[in-house]
Structures are given as structure tokens and as C-alpha cells.
Amino acid sequence: MRNVVILGSGPAGLTAALYTARALLEPLVVEGVEAGGQLMLTTGVENYPGFPEGIQGPELIDSMKRQAMKFGAEFVPGNATAVDVCQRPFKVEVEDKVFETKALIIAMGASANLLGLESERALLGHGVSTCATCDGFFFRNEEVMVVGGGDSAIEEAIFLTRFASKVTVIHRRDQLRASKIMQQRALDNEKIGFIWDSVVDEILDVNEGKVVGVGLRNVKTGEVCEHPCTGLFMAIGYTPSTGLFKGQLELDEKGHIVLGYYSHTSIPGVFAAGDVSDFRYRQVATAVGSGCRAAIDAEKWLDSIP
């Protein structure tokens, strides 16, 4: 029997591990297959307080993990394959092991939707990005492209005009899905251009280890061409890692965990932190803050039960 099991080892999960460990709750952290979360794919982090020269994403995750371990957090590799929160104690299956716990903190994050290209994965963090707020600063006076046509894509494009000399939105249809007011803002911005009815078939150039352009295909004519750029931003949505909780916890229409009182979910004793419930900010700093909240809420809840 565990006091607390934490699902996920990104910034939210590791912060929750640190706080619960310091509260002498001896947390167990299920790391997940992609241990460390999206920061493990980030080369440079310059917007996290305390590092004026910036820090590499994997280095930051390693420091957080070692700090949590110092105070007694235990880590188990692998993914949670099944979770039962409908009865107490809660049960978490990790491969061939079953752990029982009084409290559960869900911090499994969310995955940015990608195109599925090999070059995309190879160049992620080397010109391919899923977060304009995180990486826009690195593309000052450069030409970048944004893939997508919804509000998120247009918000990213408008934000990037603060830094880039030119922002081109690539959309597979001939009109945007974004709200009318967002569309008008983009159309009125002289730094933003559009390539319609097109998809990215290839990202150039893996051999150079950086983005130098994209290969585009017109979905109506089949015409292919190359377009130079130094940055490519994916803005085709995020998928929260909450599939294990469908039918158990209250989720919104996109799969995010709905929070009630602070970090409390719809089931007492189950808490959520990070991108599983954050559909707006998705920053390292906000993930850390939510991990802290979930840990404190879990500690107080444990104190309140017999």
C-alpha cells in the first residue's frame, strides 16, 4: 500500500514527487515510456526562472528527478497499463506489477499532434517546434512556417510575428477553421502569409541537422514544391494522455481532466497536474506550479481521511 502514486515524470510529476517526498509520504513515480515528458525533446529552455543562461531540457529534468530522489521519491520505469480509481484503494498496473495507493496524482502530460514524418521527429528541437511561446525567441529576423488552420495555429502565427521577419501559415484547406476575429487579425498582419490547399510532405534537411525548408504538396493539383524556412511550428492540436481514465473521471470534450476544487478531480483522492488538465498555458513554469498544488492537496486530503 502506497500513500501516493504519481503518474508521469515531467515537470508537474517531478514537482509533485519532490513535495510529497518532503512531506514524508514516500511517493512512487511511474515514469512512463517517454520519461521526462516533452522537455526531453527540448534543446534549450530560456523561459524557466533561475537560469539566466538557459538550460537544456533533459538537464532540467535530470536535476528535478535527482532532487526528488534525494528526499525519498521512488521511481519505476514503464507505462501504467491500467488504472482503477472507482474503488479504494486505487490500483495502478505497471506491466506485470500492481500497486495500491491511497492517493493518486495524474501528471501524464499531453502529446502534440504531429505529421508523422521521420524528418519531423529527427528535427524536433532543431527547427521543428510545437510551442511558439517556448521557441519563438530563437527565430528573430528569420522566416518561419506554421502548420494548421485553427485558432491555435493563428495565435501561434501572430505571436511569432514579434520575432520572425515572415510567418507563413500552411493549411490543407482553402479557408481557415479559426474564429472570424482571429482570421481577420492574421489577414491584416503584413508579416503573415498563407499557402492554401497544401500539406508538408518533407522537412529539409535532416543531413544538415537543422530546418532549411519544407517540401509541400498541393492536395488539389498534386503539385509539389519546396519552400525555404528556418523554423516549422506544428499547431494541429494536443492530445492529453488521459485514455486510461475515460469512464472513470470527468473529462472535457477534448479529453482534458476537469478540475473542481483546486487540483481535485471528480473522484476524491485523485488529483491532476500539468497538461492533462491544462488546455491553455502548457508551460514548464505552470506545470511546476500545478505539481506543487496537487502534492499539497494530496497531503491535506490524506490527513483528512481516517
Q: Is the pLDDT of residue 59 over 90?
A: yes
> What pLDDT score was predicted for residue 279?
83
Which fold would CATH assign to domain 2-111+238-304? Answer: FAD/NAD(P)-binding domain (3.50.50)
Spatial CB neighbours of 261, under 8 Å, sequence gap ≥ 6: none
> CA-CA distance, 275 to 88, in Å (whole number)?
25
62, 84, 96, 134: which one is catalytic?
A: 134
225 is catalytic: no
The yes-or-no answer to whether 2-111+238-304 and 114-234 have a common fold is: yes
131 is catalytic: yes
Q: Specify the 3-state DSSP secondary structure of 64.
A: helix
Q: Check if the beta carbon of residue 74 is closer than 8 Å to that of residue 25.
A: no
Cell (9 digits) for 52: 539566466
271-304 residue pLDDT tens: 999 999 988 888 899 999 999 999 999 999 999 9
Highest CATH level, class, for 114-234: alpha beta
Q: Considering the entire predicted model, what is its pTM? A: 0.78
Q: Is the pLDDT of residue 41 over 70?
A: no
Average pLDDT of 156-162? 94
Q: Is the pLDDT of residue 33 over 80?
A: no
131, 151, 201, 292: which one is catalytic?
A: 131
Q: Over the range 113-144, which residues count as b (16 or more CB within 10 Å of their CB) and which as e?
A: eebebebbeebbbebbbbbbebbbebbeebbb
Q: Is the pLDDT of residue 42 over 80?
A: no
The secondary element (H helix, E strand) that includes residue 62 is: helix 57-70
135, 275, 278, 297: which one is catalytic?
A: 135
Domain ranges of the chain: 2-111+238-304, 114-234
135 is catalytic: yes
Residues above pLDDT 70, as percent of the chain: 99
Q: Is the pLDDT of residue 45 over 90?
A: no
Tell me how many degrees the CA angle 130-187-281 measures, rounded to the nearest 5.
Answer: 30
101 burial (CB, 10 Å; 0-12 / 13-18 / 19+) is: buried
